[in-house]
Amino acid sequence: MKEGKFEPNIVAFTCNWCSYGSADLAGISRLQYPPNAKVIRLMCSGRIDPVMVIESFKNGADGVMVTGCHIGDCHYSTGNHRTQVRFDALQKAMKVMGLNPERLRLLWASASEGQQWAEGITEMTEKIREIGPNPITAGGITK
Amino acid sequence: MTESDLRIGVFVCHCGLNIAGTVDCESVAEYAGTLPGVAHSDHLLFTCSDDGQANIKQKIKELNLNRVIVASCTPRTHEPVFRACVEEAGLNRYLYDQVNLREHVSWVHMDDHELATEKAKTLVRMAVERAKYLEPLERKAVDVIQKAAVIGAGVAGISAALDLADAGFETTLIESRPTIGGQMALLDKVFPQNDCAICILGPIMSKVGQHPNINLMTYSELDNVEGYVGNFHLNVRKKSRYIDTEKCNGCGDCATVCPVSVTNEYEFGMGERRAAYRPFPQAVPNKYTIDKRGTSPCRIACPAHVNVQAFLALLKEKKYDEALEIYRKNSPFAGTLGRICTNPCQADCERGKYDQAVSIRNLHRFLADYERDNGGIKIDPIVPDKKKAKKPVAIVGGGPSGLACAYDLARDGYSVTVFEARKEAGGLLRWGIPAYRLPRDVLRDEIGILKQMGVTIKTGTKVESIAELKAQGFKAFYVATGASSSRMMNIKGENTKGVLSAIEFLDKVNSGKTVNIGKKVAVIGGGNAAIDAARTAKRLGAKKVTIVYRRSREEMPAIPSEIDEAEHEGIQIEFLATPIEIDTKEKLVSSMKCIRMRLGAPDESGRRRPVPIPDSEFKISVDNIIMAIGQGVTPEALLTKLEPTQWGSLEVDPVTLQTNMKGVFGGGDVVLGGGGTAIEAVAAGKEAAKSIDRFLRGVDLIEGREDFLIPIEKIDVDEEAFKTRYAPEMPTLSMSKRKTTFEEVELGFKEAVAIAEAERCLSCGICCECEKCVEACKLDAVNHKLQDEIVELDVGTIIVATGFQTYDPLETREFGYGTFENVITNAQLERLTNAAGPTQGKPKRPSDHEIPKRVAFVQCVGSRDRRIGQDYCCYIGCANSLKQAIQLKEKFPDIEVTIYTMDVRTHGLGYEGLYRRARSMGVLIVKGRPSEIEEIPDTKSLIVYAEDLYTGERLETTSDLVVLATALIPNDDTPELARKMKLSTGEYGFLMEAHPKLRPVDSFQDGVFLAGATLGPMDIPKAVAYGKGAAAGAQALMAPGKFYVEPIYAEINTDLCFDCDLCSDMCPYGAITGKGEDRRVMFELCQGCGTCAGACPHNAIDMRHYRRQQIMPQIMAAVRMQGGVVL
């Protein structure tokens, strides 16, 4: 960790068919973006149990990204519809948990949208950098 | 498995410098070695190589590894390779996991090696934590459907389909064009041997058409696809050709008579084709197609739905009687409405968006006038149908609405009688509209059409009730008695002698009665009646005629050209004023007091309500005042017992037009309360005729009565060929004649003007349904009612070979393309040299059709061009131009040919020979791209400005023809196709293969293969090879008959499940079944998305290989670690 500079710790849940592919395409295209997001590969964004997001924050994630196929393009037809519903519920829960809702972000990116992946990660990293570390593990400092 | 039993092997790959260039692989491997559970950790140069894999297998056996992690490239490429590798060493393939250090780390964090390495360590830690909980799984086999689908029938698709079909697989070949052959079939010669393209491809195309195992679906497109490898379900839309392909024998009689011409896309715009067409003579299948995009906006806008596009197309070809016949399918009033219609068709004319709407009304007037001048109207009488004649129809009111109703019913075989109270039929057309707008004989002769048809018109006969008509034996009735009373203003002095209503005034004049009109006349109102009254008053001798209208010019409802003509004739218009009092002197009108108005808030009609301005009164000295402020329905117009609305007009059902009396229908002004236009009245009459026919046949009045008019989604206008041209001015009667006579003011277009105007029609619908093709086809194959068909297919594999398009420099107008006539593309020149092309093989240049003496080729137009994001090489431009240069030189040895290029790319075998041959024939090759091309105005030849980079010389050469070697780009619908099939597209929009080196025909979807130029620019042999390669891939997948499905599916622990059904409700595949102890997941249906597991509140359902216990440790490692340090 660089001295003095806050490096956000971000978890990005991806789906095998679209968003993981978009991250791959960003790589193939050599698009550069900050190294703060760690990708967890799932088959579908619908696999994301809201508990996984909550546990991420409880244990120190500064930001969580929920990513998958665009609505209508889900490889499993309606998986990402559920993701959307769960994300909306989680957004509300963020306030209950005392967390800035901007720490949780939804990104739909198809396998041919490498640019969107790179931009999404970059924007998220900068936003988290701005709002600061997770208050739950960083001693209760909330922005 | 306890931690002490775990023996994890970690292999960190350098991938040459791909990973090692950014990530410190040694340090990552070292770190991994420190983690509990890791028995072996090492870094390798190329893990996927034979050596690397051998190393892994060796370590597994040697060290008894029971988990393997490879930290390398994306699992989307090599996961199957490494899974197979560990399986060979005796380890279950699902005890393997892969960490992406390349696409997700080394390639994207090149600026910070330290942070990249830290991220790499964290990712490896995440995988190690997950690996602890991986379990061995067995793959299950599913049956693979032994059929294939190939999308795209260019040379790649054809090659693939033939190989698959020969191997015994039933193959459906889907092609969006009406013929197979793709781009190759349109070429003239192909390099390097300069074979004739269609000669070598033709026999192969025939073979496809006749192959017993190929189900050829042309003019078809993929609507959507579902399923997975081995079991794809496709919905294919078979577009309607409007020709029955079983009957069509390709004779072409339909095309010969088709009047609609459009730019021929198969000639790259160098020629035209008809709406009924066949792409080229060797088309497979050899059938014609009618290109119909929908109903043109003019026809939809016309309340009577006259087929405008059709009569314009026939007018253009001088087929005036056939054109008039088309008009008369809908209404008899071509000449009448040709003079007075408010032309809603023109308001929607697509041409109006470019320069000016086509003068549709004046053109059907021309048709009517032409007939009058050449023999007059001759209509055959119609013998009523015996059955229908038993139910005669009575129509009350001989105005446009009643007459239109009679017309349609008579044409349908009914016996019709029109009852008209006045001494002549025509309604307001006869008694309201002045003769200088609508000459009496034009109207009389068109009403005569009905008489010629056999309709009885009883003039001078007033009808008082329906009952009296029933007594005469009539079975159905249409009431179209109009709105003949006038609204008055109810101001002081209105009842003075000399104050008239417009209806009254015009009626008297049109009846031939003498009307005394003073020198000064004021007309109140802003509609057509006001203008008619004003212009009539002028002709009767009024010196000063003033129209007083309470709103502004923009809101005046009268036809704009009428307002203009009124002003030309010297009539003044006082806008924003209204009378408040009429002053009299000796019981005669002397003056009128008016007040100025301003526009306030909008009223219920949406127009701004005029508000009087206080203290702004002024006087106009007048002898007569004519009120033209609106009509009203007289009570007797409703006959006895028909129910009125609250405003006094006739109440009818808005759809069926039926009144409160069964079998009695009403329409026109009597229903509207006045203010309707003639064409609206005609439309109402036609609706009533439809209702009466249904009523008499005992059929439901509403069901299925709508017209089948489908608007065009997107109107294709050839913007390259478009030339701005405005509608012609209507010649008018001289002002001196106008002042004193009621002679017709608008004189009509001359023949040449009419034809030129009809040519401005853009043929929006392309096929206009004139039905000349139906008449011409001797096999009865044309059927305009045919519809698109959806065909469902189940296949095991799909090959996508949808090809490419050539770049069109029209947007940038580079090198003058689109502006200078003699600048064309390679593709266009190809058509000119083609013996079957628009110039029969002679390379005649566009401007003067002369063979050019000097030709210049400009290479790389749109290729290697970073400005437009197309910085790739088009692969075939050099060879193509060399080939065309050689062809020109062969036929015309004296032609000077120069090729301006950056580099000459003649790769592989044969192409270098092409280059040498061209040079030996005297083709000049200049290394230097032209900077500019200028046109010489009189000769239309071009000056090419370039620099020879070898000699440094500035060149300024004149060329008669310039040919641009344009880029190859993806088809416009590639993003849509990629979305439907879940394929990736690459940087330039082409479809992307799974791996550019080793998997050139595989897509990222198992079971879907890619072939040909849909992947990127390539030449014919390469496309053929890709097609055959894809076929081989598909066969390899289908031949074993089974495909191993990933054992990634859900499982239920019935002890924890309490049947809340959350999971089964959200499963897209209905894979969860049963209750209680019997609750289970059907693995054949489960696709492994895990949505159920994400929802279960009791952790009762979980996803194998993506279990909660496998994901949570990954998350913990991710959030608690940063570069190996616990946070």
Average pLDDT over residues B672-695: 95
Chain B positions touching A61 (Cβ under 8 A) are 1118-1119
Res B636: pLDDT? 87
Average pLDDT over residues B497-506: 93
Query: Does residue B383 have a pLDDT over 90?
Result: no
pLDDT for B224: 92
Flag if B979 and A49 touch (Cβ within 8 Å): no
What is the distance between the alpha carbons of residues A123 and B502, in angstroms, rounded to a whole number?
72
Q: Do B126 and A38 touch (CB under 8 A)?
A: yes
Of A17, A18, A32, the CB nearest to B109: A32
Residues 6+ apart with CB under 8 A from B287: B178, B241, B243, B245, B248, B250, B278
Region B90-96: mean pLDDT is 96
Asked whether residue A1 carries a pLDDT value surpassing 70, the answer given is no
Give contacts of B1047 with chain A, Cβ < 8 Å: none
Yes or no, beta carbons of B108 and A30 under 8 Å apart: yes
| Residue A142 contacts B, CB cutoff 8 Å | no
Give A125 to chain B, closest Cα distance, Å. Answer: 14
Residue B691 CB partners (closer than 8 Å, separation 6+) = B656, B657, B658, B665, B701, B705
Q: CB-based contacts of B822: which residues, under 8 Å, 6+ apart?
A: B845, B846, B847, B852, B935, B940, B941, B942, B960, B961, B962
pLDDT in tens, B931-980: 999 999 999 999 999 999 999 999 999 999 999 999 999 999 998 998 88
DSSP-derived pairing of the beta strands B476-479 and B393-396:
parallel
Average pLDDT, stretch B372-400?
A: 91
Contacts of B982 in chain A (CB under 8 A): 17-18, 73, 75, 111
Q: What is the DSSP string of B519-582?
A: SEEEEE--SHHHHHHHHHHHHTT-SEEEEE-SS-GGG--S-HHHHHHHHHTT-EEE-SEEEEEE
User: What average pLDDT does range A36-55 have in this prediction?
Assistant: 94
Taking CB atoms and an 8 Å limit, are A11 and B119 in contact across chains? no
Mean pLDDT of B621-629: 94
Which of A10, A43, A125 would best serve as a mutation to test chain B binding (most B beta carbons within 10 A)?
Answer: A43
- Asked whether the beta carbons of B388 and B669 are under 8 A apart, the reply is no
Which residue among A17, A36, A46 places its CB closest to the CB of B982? A17
Say whether residue A86 is in contact with chain B using an 8 A CB cutoff. yes
**pLDDT greater than 80 at residue B1121:** no
Provide the pLDDT for residue B1126: 63
Residue B780: left if φ>0, alpha if ψ -120 to 50, beta else—which one?
left
- Best A1, A9, A10, A24 member to test B by mutation, with max B CBs in 10 Å, is A24
Number of inter-chain CB pairs under 8 A, A vs B: 165
Instruction: Kindly identify which residue of chain A lies nearest to residue B1123, measuring between CA atoms.
Output: A1
Are residues B103 and A26, on separate chains, in Cβ contact within 8 Å?
A: yes
Q: How far apart are CA A36 and CA B1031, in angstroms?
A: 43
Whether residue A24 lies within 8 A of chain B, CB to CB, comes out as: yes
What pLDDT sits at residue A39? Answer: 96
Residue B520 identity (one-letter amino acid):
K
Residue A30 touches chain B, beta carbons under 8 Å: yes
**Average pLDDT estimate for B661-666:** 94
User: Do B834 and B826 contact (CB within 8 A), yes or no?
Assistant: no
C-beta atoms of B1106 and A78 within 8 A: no
> Which tokens go with A117?
């992946």
Cα–Cα distance for residue pair B833/B824, rounded to 1 Å: 13
Q: What is the pLDDT of residue B603?
A: 79
pLDDT of residue A142 exceeding 50, the answer is no
Whether the per-residue pLDDT at B1027 is higher than 90: the answer is: yes
Name every chain A residue with its beta carbon within 8 A of the beta carbon of B1010.
Answer: none
Instruction: Kindly list the residues from chain B whose CB atom is less than 8 angstroms away from the CB atom of residue A53.
Output: none
**Per the CB < 8 Å rule, is A61 touching B1119?**
yes
Smallest Cβ–Cβ distance between A23 and the set B104, B1068, B1095 belongs to B104
- Give A73 or B747, the one with higher predicted confidence: B747
Contact state of B1004 with A111 under an 8 Å Cβ cutoff: yes
Confidence check: pLDDT of B3 > 70: no
CA distance B284 to chain A (A): 35
Confidence check: pLDDT of B984 > 80: no
Model confidence at A5: pLDDT above 80 = no
Of B24-28, B152-156, B249-253, B980-984, minimum mean pLDDT range = B980-984
Average pLDDT over residues B1058-1082: 88
Nearest Cα of chain A lies from the Cα of B1120 at a distance, in angstroms, of: 6
Chain A closest CA to B1090's CA: distance in Å? 4
With a cut of 90, say whether residue A113 has pLDDT above it: no
> What is the Cα–Cα distance from B658 to B651, expressed in whole angstroms?
8
* β-pair type (B476-479, B276-277): unpaired
Of B979, B1087, B1111, the CB nearest to A76: B1087
**Torsion over CA: B735, B741, B744, B749 (sign):** negative
B-chain CB neighbours of A36 within 8 Å are 119
CA B1017 to chain centre: 27
Q: Could you say which residues from 44 to 83 on chain A have a Cβ atom under 8 Å away from some Cβ of chain B? A: 44, 46-50, 52, 55-56, 59-61, 73-79, 82-83
Cβ–Cβ of B1122/A7 closer than 8 Å? yes
Q: Cβ separation of A76 and B119 shorter than 8 Å? A: no
User: What is the reported pLDDT for A135?
Assistant: 85
Grade residue A17 by pLDDT with cuts at 50, 70 and 90. Answer: confident
pLDDT, position B5: 87
If one compares B811 and B478, the residue with the highest pLDDT of the two is B478
State pLDDT tens for residues B257-313.
999 999 899 999 898 999 999 999 999 999 999 999 999 999 999 999 999 999 999
Cis upstream peptide for B400 (omega within 30°)? no
The pLDDT value recorded for residue B606 is: 79
Q: What is the rounded CA–CA span in Å between residue B997 and residue B988? A: 18
Select from A9, A25, A36 the Cβ nearest to the Cβ of B984: A25
Of B680-694, B870-884, B1063-1077, the poorest mean pLDDT is in: B1063-1077
Chain A partners of B1068 at a C-beta cutoff of 8 Å? 76-79
Q: Which residue of B has its CA nearest to A16?
A: B76
Q: Which of B79, B102, B103, B979 is the best mutation test for A, with the most CBs of A within 10 A?
A: B103
Q: Which of A13, A44, A51, A125 to mutate to test the interface with B (most CBs of B within 10 A)?
A: A44
Q: At what angle do helices B440-453 and B400-411 cross, to 10 degrees?
A: 30
Higher pLDDT, B166 or B489: B166
pLDDT single digits (tens) B143-198: 999 999 999 999 999 999 999 999 999 999 999 999 999 999 999 999 888 889 99
**Nearest chain A residue (CA) to B1006:** A17
**Could you tell me which of B408, B435, B445, B437 has the C-alpha nearest to residue B330?**
B408
Query: What confidence score (pLDDT) does residue B1127 get?
Result: 60
CA torsion B953-B958-B962-B967 (nearest 10°) is 20
Residue of A nearest to B984 (CA): A112
Average pLDDT taken over every residue of chain B:
93
Residues 6+ apart with CB under 8 A from B915: B878, B882, B904, B906
Q: What residues of A are in contact with residue B113 (Cβ under 8 Å)?
A: none
